[in-house]
Structure 1
């Protein structure tokens, strides 16, 4: 079994065992020292107040000196050190001690210490103090990683909750508004009908934005299992779902071309690119999709995009992409999630989004499955 096969708790316990053996002492303890208490988080001690889960007053421990100074403290025999009259000697009964502070995100979490009731014959060396300090830094990094994973899980749970609220509390009234607008369109004409057409278009766009928000919240950027997707078919399906007005589509894809991708996300990519072409190129824009085994491109003959949009997309500048709408952010996320490359060329004669390296490498999950 390798270190990567162990849980975080097992790796920390292994570090304690390594430190105990290296220093030649009986005890190793990872402690939490918040709120003036000394709580044993992990240890090899099996019973007594310093067993795992035990809580004592920090002021009665040697570790309080480590917490107060934020420096590594060590001595082979407390009676022959500056701590000979310290209350901790009588309270703990520990004569030999080495401890270092553990920081998480710049704040003191606790200590990693090694101790023994019997004095050690050899003095604690600077090298041994450095060893405990390095070990404490590693344990701190491991705890920090656990904390961040926990925060990420909590954040994902909040995103799932938010996605559920969006799906229920926004989509339901929106569906009602779309339905009543369609009914009203059947009974009016003239300018009123034109206004209702605009309302219907705005409601449809709102529905698309909700779907995009849900995708970003629930799916993030990582792409899991992929399949061989027929490029011509997914392009035409995406075009049929977008309100393209008088825009035209030309598909120039080599026969039998497939893309190794998440089909649903690939379709969203094309939907958002087509919508962007129509919004920025005008209602009569001509859109062309080309593609082969190495990649694909979406081009239009519109007036082109602002230079800052082009830069934000190719530089994967998420914060600036957001300012240009969710559609382009979805495009960037789908491309980066697949590990593809994006090039944007825009000018007075139109805009071209070119995606390359679509089949350049086998996905990690498939490589693992083949082992």
Structure 2
């Protein structure tokens, strides 16, 4: 039965829902009910549309391919129009619109449809849609379409909030993992060693001074490694809110901050290419990949960066990675990655913190790090259910 309040005062219903102390699943289902009752239709679905599939995350539908957990081809749904355009669409009777011959009509059997985009941290997650297998007598109004858009934004915020809460626990565990090592076991004795080396450098010359310069260089590298440990502890988990970052200038800025010696950089990235990311951490990813190429590929190594809206890659013509490290990076095996240096572990943490995919291809004539799915939202509902 349709609630008079939900139909006449939908924003009041949404406000009441926001104030309730319920689980994520309960709140999402209630939001679907609010939309169904307001529009006067039978079906409401929250979907995940990553990787070209249409997965039903939450719904009131109990059976069939559109019940919870159902997966169908996105191309056979009305929602593909929302995903492609990023705009809300709606119609009371598909047969009376430009969609009369659309393949979704036959595939779904749904004549009435209203849907809007759901995003997570600025990236397309899926859709929130309402539908019926019979046409609605009254046309879909602009106000109804706008309300579905508002409801979709509310769902987006709810998914983001729960995602960040769940991943905050993981971040705290990583902080505990590194804090003790950095604060007590590394930094204190290192400070003393640097101080004594500086005193000795003031009193010697010749070959002894050269040896001390090398010692100081090694201590400086240790200090840099400690800073990387802190990055892993404080910034290795979910990155939270992101922004659109122009890729090409960021790559060149990162190169300029690294001691590249005689190495050369080639950037094959279109000027308009942008990545939705945490800018500071993305820069650190490139800095560590560049540093790794120079340190292990030699002072004259050639580095090439390619990229587009779907991902980017950093390749060099150095001697390649040990097979165990390549396998550990691909499998996100932190223990074995650390054996080759904390810089690569920073790279791995930045990638996983964004929810991106990392592929590593290494041979005798070079190594290529490829990051993909950079502008596609994670299937957040899977992580929430595992909690």
TM-score, structure 1 normalization: 0.50
| Change over 3 Å in CA distance of 1:362–1:229 after alignment to 2 | farther
Is 1:326 aligned to 2:342, yes or no?
A: yes
Aligned to 1:221: 237
CA contact (8 A) 1:178 1:203 kept: no
User: 1:315 Cα shift?
Assistant: 1.3
Q: Give yes or no for the alignment of 1:308 onto 2:355.
A: no
1:27-42 aligned at under 5 Å gives the runs none
Corresponding residue to 2:248 among 206, 222, 232: 232
Are residue 340 (structure 1) and residue 366 (structure 2) matched? no
Q: 1:328 to 1:178 in 2, by over 3 A?
A: farther
Gaps of 5+ in 1: 7-147, 365-371
Secondary structure at the aligned position of 1:361 is classed as: coil
Which of 243, 258, 280 lines up with 2:259 in the alignment?
Answer: 243
Match of 1:71 in 2: none
Structure 2 SS opposite 1:223: coil
Q: Contact 1:269/1:334 (CA < 8 Å) preserved in 2? A: yes
Deviation at 1:308, TM superposition (A): 1.4
Q: Output one character per residue of 1:267-316: Cα deviation in whole Å (capped at 9) or x when no partner.
A: 11111111211122112211111122221111111111111111111111
Distance (whole Å) between structure 1 residues aligned to residue 242 and residue 299 of structure 2: 34
Which residue is equivalent to 1:260?
276
The answer to whether 1:359 aligns with 2:375 is: yes
Q: CA deviation at 1:176?
A: 5.5
1:166–1:210 CA contact under 8 A, matched in 2: no
**What SS does the aligned partner of 1:199 have?**
helix
Equivalent position of 1:173 in the other structure: 191
For the pair shown, the structure with the greater C-alpha radius of gyration is: 1
Q: Secondary structure at the match of 2:23?
A: helix
Say if 2:301 is the partner of 1:285.
yes
Secondary structure of the 1:303 match is: coil
Q: Find the aligned partners of 1:298 and 1:210 in 2 and give their Cα distance.
A: 25
Match of 2:291 among 275, 278, 283: 275
Question: Do 2:237 and 2:352's aligned partners in 1 also have CA atoms closer than 8 Å?
Answer: yes
Any conservation in 2 of the 1:163–1:214 contact (CA below 8 Å)? no
- Match of 1:342, SS? strand
1:81-96 pair list within 5 angstroms: none
**Distance between the aligned counterparts of 1:150 and 1:232, measured in 2?**
31
Q: Which residue of 2 aligns with 1:51?
A: none
DSSP 3-state at the match of 1:214: helix
1:333 Cα deviation after fit = 0.9
Q: Do the aligned partners of residues 230 and 150 (structure 1) sit closer, same or farther apart at CA in structure 2, a change above 3 Å counting? A: closer
Size of the alignment, in residue pairs? 221
- Deviation of residue 155 (structure 1)? 5.2
Q: 2: CA distance between counterparts of 1:150 and 1:296?
A: 27
Kindly indicate whether the alpha-carbon contact (under 8 Å) linking 1:160 and 1:218 is maintained by their aligned counterparts in 2.
no
Per the TM alignment, residue 334 of structure 1 is displaced from its structure 2 partner at its CA by: 0.6
Assess, with a 3 A threshold, how the Cα gap between structure 1 residues 203 and 232 changes in structure 2: closer, same or farther. Answer: farther
Q: 1:192: how far off?
A: 4.6
1:266–1:167 Cα change, 3 Å: farther
User: Could you tell me whether the CA contact under 8 Å between 2:326 and 2:361 is conserved in 1?
Assistant: yes
| Kept in 1: contact 2:170–2:237 (CA 8 A) | no
TM-align CA RMSD: 3.9
Contact 2:168 2:238 in 1 (8 A): no
Residues 230-267 of structure 1: per-residue CA shift (max 9 Å, x gap): 21222222222222222222222211222111111111
Secondary structure of 1:278's match?
A: helix
**Relative to structure 1, is the Cα distance of residues 198 and 284 closer, same or farther in structure 2, using a 3 angstrom cutoff?**
farther
SS in 1 for 2:299: coil
Q: Which residue is equivalent to 1:205?
A: 221
